[in-house]
Structure 1
């Protein structure tokens, strides 16, 4: 499937600031960037950071007064959604080095606090079947509610409240997976059919020797998502990280079939 992607960010910068931008679709890892352009409409110093194929392409900016940027791309998505129940967990001693950090708790995903719940609720399942049960449990019990969480909300908060947005659903699934000793990371994606249209967040779990996208909101499918970036949790995959005060003026994201 080919996706036509466009995104625009318009921010006011209170004082000269260093910014990290992560909005470009990754090339590789089940997708191919056919055409893309990043247009900075306001003056800024730009430094691109080399990244692993299929992961992300961070861009560092130093800007004054305003950030006005537009991104467009055509991405061919070449991954199929696997049957989770058919995927086996990888024994811990056979995990590749890149997967090991995603076994551990992180700022927004305190997985160590979920061990007892995971064993009690999902202890009879293994591997991908356990992940599928976790995903279904979250989707059926949580309410998607815009504005119900903020930058300080973590998986434990969302678990208690039983509501949130895509980042909160992903945080809970990641925490549960790690509590079951299955590597899990967070991905930012451009996803077809997300409502409201925006940067979308979901989980990726390491099963049967590869990473697999799992969206606990139920709004997206792996074959209709273009990965932007991956990390331990929302702190690593933010589309814009500012090291000074910035104020949002306008932001838009659209994803269509190309």
Structure 2
């Protein structure tokens, strides 16, 4: 599936240096066919993501007026495989690079969910348990923009049962980790995301590969354009600054299939 991504970021900065994480990933199952990024008067320097997935950029904007345009044409060839028949991996056989995604993190206190997950999903294992967790989150939460903030943790969300894609992804990651399956937070673009914005999903480690799951139901492996991955939202912010940035305008448009 070919997907076009178009991003406009319009911010007034108080510091000229901005770390951006908005580019589509080059990896197996996702080919970036073309890509442009422009910001008048800005200088860019690429930085490899610490996870090895994605390419961050430092933007130096001397004028402090960041008017950035990013466009990419991406071919996604991943297949959205049903989870229920997939097997998990014995913990002792997991590769070292996925172990960190079993542990609690700043926004995903997965250790607090062990008892709940064991009771709620008793008798299930592997992909069947992961699919049940996804379905539980999707059916027990309400998608309400503005219901959460950048400081909302998965514990807050479990109580309120409302939020946006960020909160759905945190809930899935926390419960799947509590079930003994590595799960990481991923940022992406998707043509079916409503309202159009940067989107968040989970990726789970089943049968030796990362599988994308979205409890909001707005994307899947076949139509998500992956940007970055991390332990939770703290690791994959689309823009980081050392001081205040004043929001003027932000438009994300994603079209596909083309």
TM-score band by shorter chain is over 0.9
Instruction: Tell me which residue corresponds to 2:209.
Output: 210
Instruction: Tell me which residue corresponds to 1:2.
Output: 2
Structure 2 residue ranges without an equivalent (≥5)? none
CA contact (8 A) 1:115 1:179 kept: yes
CA contact (8 A) 2:197 2:251 kept: yes
Instruction: Tell me which residue corresponds to 2:81.
Output: 82
How many residues are treated as equivalent by the alignment? Answer: 256
Structure 1 residue ranges without an equivalent (≥5)? none
CA contact (8 A) 2:7 2:70 kept: yes
CA contact (8 A) 2:51 2:229 kept: no
CA contact (8 A) 2:15 2:241 kept: no
Residue 55 of structure 2 corresponds to residue 57 of structure 1: yes
Residue 6 of structure 2 corresponds to residue 11 of structure 1: no
Instruction: Tell me which residue corresponds to 1:104.
Output: 103
Matches within 5 A, 1:134-145: 134-145=133-144
Of 220-229 and 48-57, more deviation after overlay is shown by: 48-57
Cα distance per residue 1:75-122 (max 9 Å; x no partner): 000100111001101111111111011010000000010011000101
CA contact (8 A) 1:34 1:74 kept: yes
Q: Secondary structure at the match of 1:149?
A: coil
Equivalents in 2 of 1:112, 1:20: separation in Å? 31
CA contact (8 A) 1:190 1:200 kept: yes
Equivalents in 2 of 1:215, 1:54: separation in Å? 22
Equivalents in 2 of 1:50, 1:158: separation in Å? 32
Matches within 5 A, 1:1-258: 1-13=1-13, 15-41=14-40, 43-51=41-49, 55-64=53-62, 65-257=64-256, 258=258
After superposition, the Cα gap between the structure-2 partners of 1:134 and 1:53, relative to the gap in structure 1 and judged at 3 Å, is closer
Cα distance per residue 1:145-197 (max 9 Å; x no partner): 00000010011111110000000000000000111111000110011111100
RMSD, matched Cα: 1.4
Equivalents in 2 of 1:46, 1:243: separation in Å? 17
Q: When the two structures are superposed, what TM-score results if normalisation uses the length of structure 2?
A: 0.96
Q: When the two structures are superposed, what TM-score results if normalisation uses the length of structure 1?
A: 0.96
**Post-superposition, which runs of at least 4 consecutive aligned residues in structure 1 deviate over 4 A?**
51-54
CA contact (8 A) 1:17 1:244 kept: no
